[in-house]
Each structure stands twice: as structure tokens, then as C-alpha cells.
A and B are shown apart, each in its own frame.
Chain A
């Protein structure tokens, strides 16, 4: 079983819809969770960070964390064509891990007009 697994995609949504991206992780001791966005040919950029159970909102983005079920999700409201990218879920185990992150394989999102 992969340590961090994302819904395989690709995911296609119409402009204005809600895009839902999901991620599960296997290490119950994981402490910090990240969503990165990667445009084609570019490096990943951080868009959300969450460490507490529940929801965290930033503009059109909401991250949801459920540690008991070991999943983290990203909702994008009012999706725009500019949101089309690969979304990477990443997990940090905390403790003496020196900040190393374990990434999922990524989900390609396409928002069509």
C-alpha cells in the first residue's frame, strides 16, 4: 500500500463547479498535511497547509482533515480554467523527520469553460 494515495483522476469539472480532490495516508502518526499545485512544466507551489482536524478555508480553497479516517481533501469552489493543474497531496510525519514530506502521485484537474 502506498503511503500517500490520491484519487487517480484525471478529474474534469465545468467552470464554476466545485472540484473535490482526495488523499489518504497510511501513517497514523502523521502530523502535517499539505496541498501543492503544479502547473505543466512548472515546480509545485504550496496552496494549503493543515494540521488540525476539521476545515481550513483560504479564499476559494478549503482543506479538510480527518485523522481518525486518515484522509485529507481539498475543495475548490467556483472552479476556474486557471485552476487546471496537477494537485499534489503531501504528508509530514513530524517528530525528528527534519521536515521531509511524502507525496502522493498527484491528481490532474481540468476545468473546462
Chain B
């Protein structure tokens, strides 16, 4: 089974800091996704990537960017962290086709103070 690892479980950052959230998979899946999860709002797609150096905006990309230099790693970047970016961030990969759905990482709970 594929393993999706998010580098930090909890992060506390200051307003204005540049923040990097890392997601690494241990297989060769092409499609990777970043979501944020907030109470009452469900999961909202920030960005996704379908191959190395290929990325597309999701529904709420403002204030975020992404990087995918290697197939196994997909990074989410908060250019200048703000308090409204305090959230749970979930990375997901698509396994072998849509029928298998996503495998999620364990999530990073980010607090911006």
C-alpha cells in the first residue's frame, strides 16, 4: 500500500512568515493534491499536480503556491502566512485511477499567530 507522509503534524508560525508544507509518497503516483479542512466547510482543494512541474489551481489558491520538482514530493507554500490560513492541511494522492480514490497523509495542523 502507498504511504503518504506529511513532514509535520503540528506547526506554529508567525504572521508574515513563509511556510513550507511537505508531502512525500513512496510510490510513483502522478496525481497529488493539497486540501485544507475547516469545521463546517469540509475539504477544499488548494492546488493539485498531475506530473513533475505540472500544477493547477484548485478552488482556493489565493495566498498559496506549490512546487513539484520530483514525482514523489509535492510542497505547499504559504508565501506570507496570515491568521486566516490557520487550518488542517491534508495531502492526498490518487491511486492507480479514480476507482481507488485518494490516500491521504496524516495532515498538518498549522496555527498562524
Chain A residues proximal to chain B, CB less than 8 Å: 4, 32, 34, 36, 42-46, 49, 51, 88, 90, 92, 94, 98-106
Segment at the A interface, from B19-27, B63-71, B74-82, B98-106: B98-106
Q: Return the contact of B42 from the options A51, A92, A103 (Cβ within 8 A).
A: A103
Report B78-113 residues with CB < 8 Å from chain A CB.
90, 94, 97-102, 104-107
In the assembled complex, the CB of B40 is this many whole angstroms from the nearest CB of chain A, namely 6
With A98-B50, A101-B101, A105-B42 known, 4 other A-B pairs at CB within 8 A are A43-B90, A98-B94, A99-B31, A105-B41
B56 beta carbon closer than 8 Å to chain A: yes
A46 touches B101 (CB 8 A): yes
B61 beta carbon closer than 8 Å to chain A: no
A100 touches B58 (CB 8 A): yes
User: Which one of B44, B48, B98, B107 has the greatest number of beta carbons of chain A within 10 Å?
Assistant: B98
A100 touches B101 (CB 8 A): no
Chain B residues proximal to chain A, CB less than 8 Å: 31, 33, 35, 40-45, 48, 50, 56, 58-59, 90, 94, 97-102, 104-107
B42 touches A101 (CB 8 A): no
In the assembled complex, the CB of A103 is this many whole angstroms from the nearest CB of chain B, namely 4
* Closest A residue by C-beta to B56: A98
Dominant SS among interface residues on chain A: strand
Known: A43-B106, A46-B102, A92-B98. A100 touches B43 (CB 8 A): no
Please report the C-alpha to C-alpha distance between residue A4 and residue B59 in the assembled complex, in whole angstroms.
13
Residues of A within 8 A of B33 (CB): 100-101
Please report the C-alpha to C-alpha distance between residue A101 and residue B44 in the assembled complex, in whole angstroms.
9
A99 touches B42 (CB 8 A): no
Residues of A within 8 A of B31 (CB): 98-99
Q: Return the contact of B104 from the options A43, A98, A102 (Cβ within 8 A).
A: A43
A49 touches B101 (CB 8 A): yes
Residues of B within 8 A of A43 (CB): 90, 104-107
Known: A98-B31, A98-B56, A100-B33. A88 touches B101 (CB 8 A): no
In the assembled complex, the CB of B99 is this many whole angstroms from the nearest CB of chain A, namely 6
In the assembled complex, the CB of A46 is this many whole angstroms from the nearest CB of chain B, namely 4
